[in-house]
Amino acid sequence: MIRQLTIFGVGLIGGSLALALKKAGYCQHIIGCSRREDHLQRAVDLGVIDEYTLDPKAAVKTADMILLAVPMGAMEAIFKRIAGHLKEGAVITDAGSAKGSVVRAAQAAFGEVPPQFVPAHPIAGREKSSVEAALVDLYVGHKVILTPLETTNPQAIQKVRKMWHVAGAEVETLGVAQHDAVLAATSHLPHILAFSFVNSLSESPEHQAIFHYVAGGFKDFSRIASSDPVMWRDICLENKAGILVALDHYQKNLSELSILIANEDSEALLAAFAHAKTVRDRVID
């Protein structure tokens, strides 16, 4: 079991992991660390963490597992703050959505990627990101992707794998580049489309009437536009290459649909929509 888990960023992701490990009796002590004392005190009050500190060095000195669940843009700064202050054998992992960026941040901070660092990405979430949104069962039945490097310590990988298994997740492994390409298409692109969709409607001359008569389609499609803007700004900047490829492919498909509608090509439209329905139903089922 984990003797001390230190979590940087005790929000939805870090808080849900803490609750799951507490419920399973797999972690003796959990320390939270961030820049906001009121936020950390709230996490203590909710029973998500046992104590907190505002000092990154103090947070990691006795930890045997360290999780960075912070916006992508904050990763390197935290790595730099804790470098040289880790207990021997301490394992570091993260929950960042763009693994190439996190690996580069670790390399910049430590000089080289530490063998005890296991890049990871839990594929679970909600549009709310605060500690109040944390759920004990958030990871049950959801995937967590590990993206270890050739130099990553196998024992460190096993410890991170076990931690996520205990939280209820299905743990899989991908290469860093493959992860970023896949997630650009399956996670990053949908969020960008949701943000763009809401902005597009808000800029319409009829926006007041549009939002007055919102229906289920709007609510379903736009739900993830309520996600943390800072986090998604950072993801767009840190996984730029993969996202631009996904956006380019989507724009081409959308242009093709526009032509079909303009030409009133009933059969082609039906075929396109039927294909999408079949694919979506198969994937979800």
pLDDT by residue (tens digit) across 191-207? Answer: 999 999 999 999 999 99
Q: Note the pLDDT of residue 282.
A: 94
Q: How far apart, in whole angstroms, are the C-alpha atoms of residue 116 and residue 66?
A: 10
Q: How far apart, in whole angstroms, are the C-alpha atoms of residue 86 and residue 63?
A: 8
Evaluate whether 2-174 and 178-284 have a shared fold: no
Q: How far apart, in whole angstroms, are the C-alpha atoms of residue 98 and residue 200?
A: 26
Q: How far apart, in whole angstroms, are the C-alpha atoms of residue 115 and residue 269?
A: 52
Fold held by 2-174: Rossmann fold (3.40.50)
Helix axes 240-262, 229-238, angle to 10 degrees: 100
What letter does residue 70 receive in the DSSP assignment? S
Secondary-structure class of domain 178-284 per CATH: mainly alpha
In the predicted model, what is the mean pLDDT of the chain? 95
Q: 129 pLDDT band (50/70/90 cuts)?
A: confident
Q: What is the DSSP string of 129-197?
A: -SGGG--TTTTTT-EEEE---TTS-HHHHHHHHHHHHHTTPEEEE--HHHHHHHHIIIIIHHHHHHHHH
Domain ranges for the chain: 2-174, 178-284
> Average pLDDT, stretch 213-221?
89
pLDDT by residue (tens digit) across 22-65? Answer: 999 999 999 999 999 999 999 999 999 999 999 999 999 999 99
Instruction: State the sign of the Cα–Cα–Cα–Cα dihedral 130, 131, 134, 139.
Output: positive
pTM score, whole prediction: 0.88
pLDDT by residue (tens digit) across 222-257? Answer: 999 998 899 899 999 999 999 999 999 999 999 999
> Average pLDDT, stretch 10-20?
96
The closest alpha carbon to 48, from 73, 69, 17, 72, belongs to: 17
pLDDT by residue (tens digit) across 174-187? Answer: 999 999 999 999 99
